[in-house]
Structure 1
Amino acid sequence: MASSFEKYNKRRLISSYFSVILSIFLVLFLLGGLGLFVINSKKLTNDFKEKIQMTVFFKNDAKERDLKAFDLELKNSEYIKKYLYINKDSAVKNNVDIFGEDFLEYVGQNPIKNSFDINLKGDYVQADSIKKIETQIKKNELVSEIIYDKILVDLVNDNVRKISLWLLIVSIILSFVAMLLINSSLRLSIYSHRFTIKTMQMVGATKSFIRKPFILRSIKLGLIGSALAVIALLILVCYIDSKLPDLGILKDYLSIGVVMAGVFIVGIIITSISTYFATQRFLNLKTEDLY
């Protein structure tokens, strides 16, 4: 009978530890994932912004040397992410399926102009910055026109501001919920030891002596949960990097290191603080209140 009771207690203890580790893992994984998203949010928004294209068309009287001079100007510009020169003759050949093979015979001359497709760096994809760049480029008298999606630029920037605000709110709420979940799991785990705590207190053990093994055990559980969360986050990072290699998330060792270290630190801090207050609650209870 005693053996069966011991086995039952052992299973219950293992189940309690498992639930604590699972809670810590899930919460820290969510917090770590959110941390990675916050750190890389600028990269994500810049990656989208940098896909918005500005096309600069040149007049037909622009000579080859003029186009080369503009090419050199773009190469030395700090706001350029990448650019591509599109020769008007090449443009016709590349769009035969649209214009038709006999297109030039009907119109007499090539109406397409030499152009540059420009992708700006994310920080410069702002309404005021693009306006300044547009004004600067238009100083070149050989530039015919500049085309880009102004509505899309404004829409992207407005959405980025809204997302950043909601991201801050979600981060605060999730952090608060994380502390509550881990705290509840640890309190339930310590609740099963309330009689042991009270017995140790009655035989003269100090509060710090009683708390110490519970805090150490919680820290161990926190480290296990943190380690599982870190492994899951690394898998997530590898998956995202395979889908979005241009972001270079996997190569950003500093950001990844900060998030992973933060997961371990948060896991240790929350578990130790929660255990301290949970044991303190039972230490302050009267014996009759334990039932």
Structure 2
Amino acid sequence: MSSSFDRYQKRKLITSYFSVVVSIALVLFLLGCLGLLVLNAKKVADHFREQVVVTIYLNDSAKQVEVDQLENTLAMAEYSKSTEYVSKEQAAELMKAETGEDFMDFVGYNPLQNSIDVYLKADYVTNETLDGITEELANKKFIEDITYDNDLVELMNNNVKKITFWVLLLSAIFTLIAVLLINSSIRLAVYSKRFIIKTMQMVGATKTFIRRPFVFKSVQLGVIGAIVALIGMGIVLYYLDLMFPELELIQNPILVGSLFVGIFLLGVLITWISTFIATQRFLNLKTDQLYY
């Protein structure tokens, strides 16, 4: 009978530990994924900003020397990430590929113009910078027109500001939720042993002596939960890097490593503090208060 009861207690204890580890792992995993989003939010926003293209259309009378000089000047400009010369023949081929029809069969000639596509660095993708670039180049006689999507730039910058604000707000809220959830799990685990705590106290054990094994066990569970969460984060990060290699999510190992270390230490710290507070609470309760 005693052996059966011991096995029951052991299974109950393992189940309790397992639930605590799962709770810690899930919360830290979600918090870590949110941390990855926060750390890479600017990189993702910069990636989309750098897809904005400024197209400079050239007159047919433009000399090749002038075109080459302009392209070199644009390539070396501080705002330029890359440039690409697109001849009217290349533009016709691109349009033909997009529409599936050869428009030159209808018009009899190629009405398109030679152009230079300029891709800007993310920090310079603002309406003010683009207007300045347009004014700077507008005085060149061999330039026919300069175009870019003004509405897209304004919409993108506004959305980036909004998304950044909400991501930071959600990060703060989720961090608080993570602390509360882990604290709740630890308190429930300690609550199930409140009578053991009080019994040890009644036979003369000091608070430090009673608290030590509870803190040690909780920190162990926190370490296990944090490791599980980090493994999950590593898998997510690996597949995201495979799917979006242009974002270079793992090209900064120091930043990623700092996040992983931070999540690990957070798991240990929360479990340690939660266990300390929970055991202290039950140590200060009177015996008749343990039943409520």
**What TM bracket, shorter-length normalisation?**
over 0.9
Contact 2:80–2:119 (8 Å) recurs in 1: yes
Distance in 1, matches of 2:137 and 2:262, equals: 46
The residue aligned with 2:209 is: 209
Letter in 2 for 1:100: F
Distance in 2, matches of 1:135 and 1:26, equals: 54
Letter in 1 for 2:241: D
Letter in 2 for 1:253: P
Letter in 1 for 2:155: L
Q: Please state whether the residue corresponding to 2:217 is helix, strand or coil.
A: helix
The residue aligned with 1:37 is: 37
Contact 2:57–2:116 (8 Å) recurs in 1: yes
**Is structure 2 residue 74 aligned with structure 1 residue 80?**
no
| 1:103 Cα offset (Å) | 4.9
**Is structure 2 residue 103 aligned with structure 1 residue 100?**
yes
**Is structure 2 residue 231 aligned with structure 1 residue 238?**
no
In the alignment, structure 2 segments of 5+ residues that lack a partner are none
Alignment of 1:1-291 (within 5 A): 1-96=1-96, 97-103=100-106, 106-107=108-109, 110-291=110-291
Tell me the matched-pair count.
288
The root-mean-square deviation of aligned C-alpha atoms, in Å, is 1.5
In the alignment, structure 1 segments of 5+ residues that lack a partner are none
Residues 233-287 of structure 1 deviation map (CA, whole Å, 9 limit, x = unaligned)? 0100011111110011122211210110011110011000000000001000001
| 1:84 Cα offset (Å) | 1.2
Distance in 2, matches of 1:100 and 1:144, equals: 22
Shift in alpha-carbon separation, 1:279–1:130, aligned structure 2, 3 A: same
Distance in 2, matches of 1:93 and 1:46, equals: 30
| 1:91 Cα offset (Å) | 2.4
TM-score by length of 2: 0.94
| 1:173 Cα offset (Å) | 1.0
| 1:56 Cα offset (Å) | 0.8
Contact 2:75–2:81 (8 Å) recurs in 1: no
TM-score by length of 1: 0.95
Residues 123-155 of structure 1 deviation map (CA, whole Å, 9 limit, x = unaligned)? 111122222222223243322111111111111
Residues 204-254 of structure 1 deviation map (CA, whole Å, 9 limit, x = unaligned)? 111111111111111111110010111100100011111110011122211
Shift in alpha-carbon separation, 1:8–1:262, aligned structure 2, 3 A: same
Q: Please state whether the residue corresponding to 1:186 is helix, strand or coil.
A: helix
| 1:202 Cα offset (Å) | 1.0
Distance in 1, matches of 2:2 and 2:224, equals: 31
